[in-house]
Structure 1
Amino acid sequence: MRPPSPSIPEKEFLFASLKASLRLDGRQPLQLRTPELTFGPELGWVECALGKTRVLAQVDAKMVKPPPERPFEGMVSIHSEISPIASPEYEFGRASEEEVTMTRMLDKVLRRSDTIDKESLCVIAGQRVWHVRLAIHCLSDEGNMLDCACLAGIVALRHFRRPEIEVVGDEVTIHDPTERAPIPLAIHHSPFCFTFAFFADTSIPPILDPSHLEQRLSAGLVSIALNAQREICVLQKLGGVPLAPDSILNLVEIAVSRAKELDRLVDDKLKVDWSGRRVEFR
């Protein structure tokens, strides 16, 4: 059963608050909810939370034979799903429009932008390569699952370590992590996604990281995926609200600033977690 639409008083109260540059959770219009990252016992297991929005990302790798057209490159695949426990809006076994949109966006941001160096995943050309699989599970939808899923995905990829291997001729030996320390993936850059919500009433300013209610009442969304080096990976606009070029450029500048902040936060979290795990791999 789908949840009821927001009532007229809810809509009027939200719009009146946004016109005054106030949000129901106390944030400023362009303020991002503080991300919370929780690392699991396994490398590549990360849970990310933006407020009450929660996403779990897991990475694993196995050796496979590469396709004939790309014998020198490993493989990267991304699978995402929105669990029915995330919200009554989603049904088991039936992909919603939001789930399809999010899956396509994550594929563009984390795979097609060459986040991972695929050539570094090659073990024996044409015979053995690593297949890295990223699985993303959306556990709770309180708005802006795309940004949360993208952050969880890139952090999980950076947190993951593949086993050390030894190649002698055509024979490949995979070493246990207790014998040799596992190796991180070769990552070119760390893209982050930032979603802005727009409203039909132009007196309401654009807001960053919309909540569930804000997202449902918005007239359009703009998602910008970029890294801290100001390189734009994807820019996606949903909805019919027209935007001037200057408005888009302003959003990009805001996203660049937030990307630098997120990059520092992720670096710090990974260093703390890895320092506590070194004893396991000595």
Structure 2
Amino acid sequence: MEERLANSWKMTLNEKQFIETALLSDLRIDGRQPFDYRRLTIKFGREDGSSEVQLGQTHVMAFVTAQLVQPYKDRPNEGSLAIFTEFSPMADPSFEAGRPGESAVELGRIIDRGLRESRAIDTESLCVLAGKLVWSLRVDIHILDNGGNLVDAANIAALAALKTFRRPECSLAGEDGQEITVHPPEVQEPLPLIVHHLPVSVTFAFFTTDNIVIIDPSYLEEGVMQGKMTVTMNTNGDICAIQKGGGVGIMHSVVMQCLRIASVKAADITIKINKAVESYEIERNLRKIKRHPPKALDGGKSHS
């Protein structure tokens, strides 16, 4: 929570008190109810596997790339997935260029844990030649504007990018079947990833005064909160990961309430991601259609 320290330092005492007093009356400074998300928009680039997410004032982009590598010795039939985050000082003055800070590392770990431990991506389908070559996926997440709740925005961007990514088709040839040919997209259609489910993260912010809980904290609310918890769930209600930060204690009943809310919100966000991906796929297919000019009949002569 290092960037929040910088954020809270910039806030005046009156601003903090105003936010906390409003929360006591179930009001938020942007007009939302305690368990309302900000407006979510999901866009895609022309390249497969690139997404852009806006959650309120928070702006995040994600890109998926893949390369052929040797598999891990203990998992010769499985590809791999890695998350990388970039926190630019342009997104928030408290972010430092260069080496990723504690917040960047934590964000990457939360998203990685949700995807990896729930086995959301079928890594066995990324195997090209057992023990020799597998696809290694890399998700690069770029924070463009920090308006609060980076984890949920980055997680949505990563899921949307993975859903639209396609890896090149490969074939094996040669006498021993060990010669690998990677086909360019114009020769063979690239293959989408096998995504079993979408582990969606839902972040809660806690305030010690009267056990106040909200979801999707804004930049200013993060400057006042005493703790937070991110619950990663899918539409089946499976808990994929839980991460708690901050020193405030949370009662068991509050945790259970958060899990119930997270289940509903995760289902809503999953629907939005799938609808956005569906629209992208339609556009992608339309772009692929080669429009030929109509051929003139008999040298242009018309028949009556």
- What range is the shorter-chain TM-score in? over 0.9
Q: Residue 55 of structure 1 contacts residue 138 of structure 1 at CA under 8 Å; is this kept in 2?
A: yes
> Secondary structure of the equivalent of 1:135?
strand
Following superposition, the deviation at residue 69 of structure 1 comes to: 2.3
Mind listing any 5+ residue stretches in structure 1 that lack a counterpart? none
Identify which range, 132-141 or 234-243, moves more after superposition: 234-243
Q: Residue 223 of structure 1 contacts residue 236 of structure 1 at CA under 8 Å; is this kept in 2?
A: yes
Mapping of residues 168-179 of structure 1, within 5 Å: 168=173, 169-179=177-187
Mapping of residues 129-140 of structure 1, within 5 Å: 129-140=134-145
- 2:78 pairs, out of 69, 73, 76, with 73
Separation in structure 2 between the aligned mates of residue 16 and residue 140 of structure 1, nearest angstrom = 27
> Secondary structure of the equivalent of 1:217?
coil
- 1:217 pairs, out of 215, 224, 238, with 224
- 1:142 pairs, out of 137, 142, 147, with 147
> Secondary structure of the equivalent of 1:236?
strand
* Alignment match, 1:244: 251
Deviant stretches of 4+, over 6 Å = none
Following superposition, the deviation at residue 41 of structure 1 comes to: 1.1
Mapping of residues 1-282 of structure 1, within 5 Å: 4-168=9-173, 169-202=177-210, 205-281=212-288
Following superposition, the deviation at residue 5 of structure 1 comes to: 2.4
Deviations 1:2-45 (A, max 9, x none): 56421011011111111111111111110011211110010000
Deviations 1:27-72 (A, max 9, x none): 1110011211110010000011101101110001111121322211
Separation in structure 2 between the aligned mates of residue 126 and residue 228 of structure 1, nearest angstrom = 34
Separation in structure 1 between the aligned mates of residue 61 and residue 37 of structure 2, nearest angstrom = 19
Q: Residue 156 of structure 2 contacts residue 273 of structure 2 at CA under 8 Å; is this kept in 1?
A: no
Q: Residue 178 of structure 1 contacts residue 280 of structure 1 at CA under 8 Å; is this kept in 2?
A: no
> Secondary structure of the equivalent of 2:197?
coil
Following superposition, the deviation at residue 281 of structure 1 comes to: 4.3
Following superposition, the deviation at residue 96 of structure 1 comes to: 2.4
Separation in structure 2 between the aligned mates of residue 105 and residue 259 of structure 1, nearest angstrom = 15
Q: When the two structures are superposed, what TM-score results if normalisation uses the length of structure 1?
A: 0.95
Identify which range, 178-187 or 56-65, moves more after superposition: 178-187
Separation in structure 2 between the aligned mates of residue 177 and residue 234 of structure 1, nearest angstrom = 36
Decide whether aligned partners of structure 1 residues 281 and 61 sit closer, same or farther in structure 2, where only a CA change above 3 A counts: farther
Q: Residue 205 of structure 2 contacts residue 228 of structure 2 at CA under 8 Å; is this kept in 1?
A: yes
> Secondary structure of the equivalent of 2:180?
strand
> Secondary structure of the equivalent of 1:273?
helix
Q: Residue 80 of structure 1 contacts residue 103 of structure 1 at CA under 8 Å; is this kept in 2?
A: yes
Mind listing any 5+ residue stretches in structure 2 that lack a counterpart? 290-304
The AA in structure 1 aligned to 2:42 is L
Deviations 1:249-277 (A, max 9, x none): 11111011011111111111111111111
Identity %: 38
Q: What is the root-mean-square deviation of aligned Cα atoms in Å?
A: 1.6
